[in-house]
Amino acid sequence: MAEVRFDGRVAVVTGAGGGLGRAHALLLASRGAKVVVNDLGATVDGTGASSSLADKVVEEIRSAGGEAVANYDGVDTWEGGHAIIETAVKNFGKVDILINNAGILRDKSFMKMEEADFDKVMAVHVKGAFNVTKAAFPVMRENNYGRIMMTTSAAGLYANSGQVNYSTAKMALVGMMNTLQLAGARFTILCNSIAPIAGTRMTATVMPPNLAVKPNPVFVTCRVAYALSEQRAD
């Protein structure tokens, strides 16, 4: 990682108030990127809102000498997705990197799952990734450069009991990634996805306590950073 830098690049990280998103934002900023730290500040099930999570990460970045601004919009609306990218353009003039990391959980057995539980998870993960990417893509195309990262999951790739909504959403992101890779290739816009395993407040509900604290999000972020770098050429 010693030679991977992001000087002059502008990155947007959704759901960056904690866990993987925070790790992504901190590492990119430490390597020279200007970062938009987006987080609605909701609970794990997507309810509530607070500016404190995003603000704290921005302060961490600035205290370390980096550049960052906060954004508190929800990704699950068209307006919110576009407002996130507008924050990047207004403050830093462009967007080069987008990490679609925002997510929620509403785990229930299939028999007990209600329509609202399914719809909200799909709205945040799938529609959210679409909304923010749709806003970022024209900016990247104009600059003939972009790096987009989707966050999928082993729950989608291999299934997980009690997570039919989450599993469905995460697998949908793989299809979105594959098609965006085709759409962006001639504009040097590359799209990838990662199925991370890390100890976060979301995995705390599905991983054994003795295991949940062990996988450090930074280990995932190192892989993500390389995939988002100029060194990645395919």
* Catalytic residue IDs: 166
Burial of 161 (0-12, 13-18, 19+ CB in 10 A): exposed
Pair 106, 165: CB distance under 8 Å: yes
- DSSP, collapsed to helix, strand or coil, labels residue 32 as coil
70/73 Cα distance (integer angstroms): 10
47/41 Cα distance (integer angstroms): 9
Pair 209, 128: CB distance under 8 Å: no
Pinpoint the alpha helices (H) of 64-163.
Answer: 78-92, 115-122, 128-143, 154-158
83/42 Cα distance (integer angstroms): 18
Pair 97, 9: CB distance under 8 Å: yes
Q: Output the CA–CA distances (angstroms, integers) from residue 34 to 82, 178, 185, 198, in the order listed.
A: 18, 27, 24, 25
